[in-house]
Amino acid sequence: MSLVWIGCKKSNYPGGVIGDYVPLYDLRNLYKGTDVTLTDENMFGSGSITGVVISDHSGNNLPAGLLIIQDRRRLGLIRGISIPIGPEAAKYVPGDSVGIKVAGAVLKRVDGILQITGVSPSAVTKLASKVAIPPNRVGSSFILAKPNDYESTLVAIVKAGFEPALSSDATYGGDKIINDGFDNFTLHTEKNATFASNGGLNFNGNYYGIIFNTVGTNGQLKPHQRMRTIKDAVALSSVPDIASAIITGYMADAEGGDGNYEYMQFMATRDIDFAVTPFSVVVTNNAGASTPTGVFPIKGWATGADALITPAGLVARTYKFNLTSGKVFKGEFFYVGGSAKMINGSKSKSIASSKWIRSKDYTVAIPAGAPAGNGDGFGLYTTGLFANSGNASGFAIFEGTTIDVNSAPIDVIFIGSGGSLYNAPSVGYKIANTDFYDKINPITLAPQPYYRSGENTLSFNYQLPADQGFWNKLGGVYNPALGKWMKARSQSNIDLNTSSTIEDIEGTSLIKILNGVTGEYVRTDTIPSTRLK
């Protein structure tokens, strides 16, 4: 009886309360290609929107009369919208928080931009000032893939350079193509913008700006970025940081035993005579048994084993190869590693006819304690240069053969992220400015010179099962004229077997070197066609 009484008792609970503001994410989703009149019903009971102003008309580079706001009220996703309110739009500045009554207005696409039309300036209420707008770093390829998602939002396109390289008298006016390592993207500057005639365009910089769309002949949205003022261009460097050689692949876990069968593949970005300009390659292995164990690499890449004689079977934290003889041409592959020069372990085919700049039997331990298999300057003879799972391993190429705690490479990769790698603020493995790593944080401009410091946390993956014989092929596009990756490297793993040949790791190369002047990929008659695709 008590249950029946409770079930029949009239409730005074008023139900859910509708919020005053509809999230911009939901608002934009109302548009399906035709104009939408906004009502309380289709806005889920709300009649207004709110957001933070990102438009700044002082630079004369935004569509006139548009008040542009963004919010992240749904799922933490940033969405924006443009509202044409005429000259009143210029009264609002970035960081102003506003509420806008939009019931009765029309959501429509005008000049390619989704807008809320029919809003009176008096419908806008300023709620606060100087609201922080956190930087929203977005790779250009993501914007190109989903231009509607980023439209009318403020984004930072980071580490971007002009493609192709511009002349010294170039100005911002018009459409310029920038590349941030993800794709090419259009930076648009109106002819009457206050900075249209500005020169001294950055070699490498961050570009903050609002994303707008136009509609192509095929009906597809075509995004571009507009800086608001010249302050939206932040220089990162004025001269290129060019790597003479880049890392293009590696064999870290051959079929069968690894000893003397591990090797690394590089590509020259210029002609190199190693007898004239020597280089060095250092491998790091941070497996639990690597010597010194359980400590951070206090000497950086030069840590070695911190011991001259160590019982057989132990692995040094770092092992060095000196590259002091031989020549390579621009665009040519070359190799460093074990003296066996086999493509995939002891039962596979020889690739000794390829360009080996340095090879040695790093497993040799006869006579006991002799340095025959030790590294060139540091590192101990070992049955495996690389770890095959767990803690991080990796390798780097340096200009010169003198490596110490202060040495930074010209290119570097890491596989995995575990182990004692970085102890703030100054103990760890230094990195180069690459597609994966930045010595200076491009957003905060704070120093981050080591792997695992700041945002330097990216790495490639270990490929399992072990002993499968995976060739780790790295694909990307590098422009030596700009000293940067136009498309970041990605990992593609080829399951080699004992019948595999050099064509399997060179013949379908995914690495390209771009001629920054002609826009063509480097190829010379001195390089067989299989060496560079």
CA 376 distance to own-chain centroid: 33
DSSP character for 88?
Answer: G
Cα 433 from Cα 160, distance rounded (Å):
13
DSSP letters, 135-195, are --B--HHHHHH-HHHHTT-EEEEEEEEESSPPPTT--S-EEEEEE-SS-EEEEEE-TTSTT
Cα 40 from Cα 32, distance rounded (Å):
18
**Mean pLDDT per 10-residue segment, the chain (533 residues):** 40 50 96 96 93 98 98 94 98 98 97 97 97 95 97 96 88 96 95 96 92 94 98 85 94 94 96 98 90 86 68 72 97 96 96 97 74 85 90 97 97 95 95 94 94 96 90 91 87 92 80 54 36 30
Burial of 134 (0-12, 13-18, 19+ CB in 10 A): exposed
Burial profile 169-206: b = 16 or more Cβ within 10 angstroms, e = fewer: eeebbeebebbbbbbebbbbbbeebebbeeeebbbbbb
Q: Are 434 and 408 in contact (CB under 8 A)?
A: no
Is the domain defined by 24-128 classed in CATH 1.20.1630?
no
CA angle 402, 406, 407 (to 5 degrees): 45
Residue 89, SS3 per DSSP: helix
pLDDT at 533: 28
CA 421 distance to own-chain centroid: 21
pLDDT tens by residue, 77-134: 999 999 999 999 999 999 999 999 999 999 999 999 999 999 999 999 999 999 999 9
Q: Which CATH architecture has domain 140-237?
A: Beta Barrel (2.40)
Which three-class secondary structure string do you get for 253-278? CCCCCCCCCCEEEEEECCCEECCCCC
CA 57 distance to own-chain centroid: 31
pLDDT at 9: 44
pLDDT at 238: 67
Cα 62 from Cα 69, distance rounded (Å):
13
pLDDT at 532: 31
Residue 531, SS3 per DSSP: helix
How many CB atoms neighbour CB 458 within 10 A?
14
How many CB atoms neighbour CB 15 within 10 A?
6
Q: Give this prediction's pTM.
A: 0.81
The residues of the chain that CATH labels 2.40.50 are 24-128, 140-237
pLDDT tens by residue, 369-381: 566 778 999 998 8
pLDDT at 239: 73
